[in-house]
A and B are shown apart, each in its own frame.
Chain A
Amino acid sequence: EPEVTQTPSHQVTQMGQEVILRCVPISNHLYFYWYRQILGQKVEFLVSFYNNEISEKSEIFDDQFSVERPDGSNFTLKIRSTKLEDSAMYFCASIGGGSYEQYFGPGTRLTVT
Chain B
Amino acid sequence: AQSVTQLDSQVPVFEEAPVELRCNYSSSVSVYLFWYVQYPNQGLQLLLKYLSGSTLVKGINGFEAEFNKSQTSFHLRKPSVHISDTAEYFCAVRTMNRDDKIIFGKGTRLHILP
Please give the residue numbers on chain A whose beta carbons come within 8 Å of chain B beta carbons, in ascending order.
Answer: 31, 33, 35, 41-45, 48, 50, 55-56, 91, 93, 95, 100-102, 104-107
Contact = CB atoms under 8 A, between A and B. Distances in A.
Interface residues on B, range: 20 to 34
Contacts of B42: 106
B45 to A, nearest CB: 8
Contacts, number: 48
Contacts of B98: 31, 95, 100
Main SS at interface, chain A: strand
Interface of B: 32, 36, 42-46, 49, 51, 90, 92, 94, 98-107
B103 A101 contact: no
A45 B103 contact: yes
Nearest to B105: A42
B34 to A, nearest CB: 8
Nearest to B90: A43
